[in-house]
């Protein structure tokens, strides 16, 4: 398989997937907390290279029935290229039963519901979307490129098209001063989006990013462990969903949780209270990672 760039990333739930790189970098690439693609100029990979990778996968990846389209925002591709790509995957890898990709709010909103449904009919199953925060001042501060209303509209469009929507939120991203406002707003926006799955991560400040520089200059203060747990609690308190998976099992988190909502909501809140009271061990700092 042919890979370009310093980092090839995928969601935790795609650990066993075939990784087919279709774009290099991220079409937005302005978020102040993210250093993943800072060295990359966003570009679409040429069709011949992608075709060669598909041929390789058809021969050597027959035990993997899931496929993830990398890099940061494959959904930004023109519709005709996505249609052709999904058709080729179906033809050459007929055993693959789940195709997933990242999609930001701009890319999702560039597709009509009918276009997204056409992709779903060709095998696209899951869209991973980074909300990070539902708090508009925080979205502006981190240069996310969309406000909460646009995030909600994008998420609802994915769901209307019949696709599985997985949304990530980020503890600590609003800093200490706006921590609880961020948590409350994020829970409310997630509820309006009604995702199938919510993944909550914890901010880790990365050297070389604008947010790291803000922290070094004393203009951004990350909440401590207790503050992050309180933020998680408020976020969960504000989740009102008919049915969703809630996961905080990413390596960046201090408190791993895997739950079904609304069934497990009371148990999740009790677990967070136990952690705040020191009755439940947290992940040691040296085991945290992105």
Residue ranges per structural domain of the chain: 12-284
Residue 41 clears pLDDT 90, i.e. is over it: no
pTM above 0.75, yes or no: yes
CATH superfamily of 12-284: Aldolase class I (3.20.20.70)
CA angle 202, 70, 186 (to 5 degrees): 30
Shortest CA distance to 233 belongs to which of 259, 203, 270? 270
pLDDT in tens, 61-81: 999 999 999 988 899 999 999
Contacts of 59 (CB under 8 A, 6+ apart): none
Shortest CA distance to 288 belongs to which of 208, 230, 201, 226? 201
pLDDT in tens, 106-165: 999 999 999 999 999 999 999 999 999 999 999 999 999 999 999 999 999 999 999 999
Contacts of 115 (CB under 8 A, 6+ apart): 79
Residue 8 clears pLDDT 90, i.e. is over it: no
pLDDT in tens, 121-133: 999 999 999 999 9
3-state secondary structure the chain: CCCCCCCCCCCHHHCCCEEEECEECCCCCCCCCCCCCCCCCCEECCHHHHHHHHHHHHHHCCCCCEEEEECCCHHHCCHHHHHHHHHHHHHHCCCCCEEEEECCHHHHHCCCHHHHHHHHHCCEEEEEEEEECCCHHHHHHCCCCCCHHHHHHHHHHHHHCCCEEEEEEEECCCCCCCHHHHHHHHHHHHHHHCCCEEEEEECCCCCCCHHHHHHHCCCCCCCCHHHHHHHHHHHHHCCCCCCEEEECCCCCCCCCCEEEECCCHHHHHHHHHHHHCCCCCCCCHHHCCC
What are the structure tokens assigned to 75, written together?
């959904």
């Amino acid at each position: 398989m042919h890979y370009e760039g310093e980092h090839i990333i995928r969601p935790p739930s795609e650990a066993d997937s075939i990784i087919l790189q279709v774009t290099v970098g991220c079409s937005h690439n302005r978020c102040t907390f993210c250093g993943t693609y800072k060295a990359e100029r966003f570009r679409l990979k040429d069709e011949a290279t992608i075709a060669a990778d598909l041929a390789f996968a058809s021969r050597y990846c027959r035990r993997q029935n899931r496929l993830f389209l990398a890099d940061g925002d494959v959904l930004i591709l023109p519709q005709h290229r996505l249609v052709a790509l999904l058709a080729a995957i179906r033809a050459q890898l007929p055993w693959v039963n789940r195709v997933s990709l990242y999609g930001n709010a701009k890319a999702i909103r560039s597709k009509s519901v009918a276009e997204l449904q056409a992709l779903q009919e060709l095998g696209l199953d899951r869209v991973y979307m980074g909300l990070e925060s539902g708090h508009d001042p925080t979205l502006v501060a981190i240069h996310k490129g969309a406000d909460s209303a646009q995030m909600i509209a994008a998420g609802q469009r994915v769901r209307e098209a019949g696709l599985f929507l997985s949304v990530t939120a980020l503890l600590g991203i609003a800093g200490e001063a706006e921590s609880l406002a961020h948590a409350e707003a994020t829970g409310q926006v997630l509820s309006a989006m009604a995702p199938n799955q919510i993944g909550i991560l914890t901010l880790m400040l990365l050297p070389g990013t604008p947010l790291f520089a803000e922290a070094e200059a004393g203009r951004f203060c990350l909440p401590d462990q207790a503050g992050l747990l309180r933020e998680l609690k408020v976020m969960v308190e504000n989740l009102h969903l008919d049915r969703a998976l809630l996961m905080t099992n990413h390596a960046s988190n201090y408190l791993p949780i895997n739950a079904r909502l609304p069934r497990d909501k009371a148990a999740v809140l009790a677990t967070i209270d136990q952690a705040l009271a020191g009755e439940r061990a947290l992940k040691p700092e040296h085991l945290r990672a992105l």
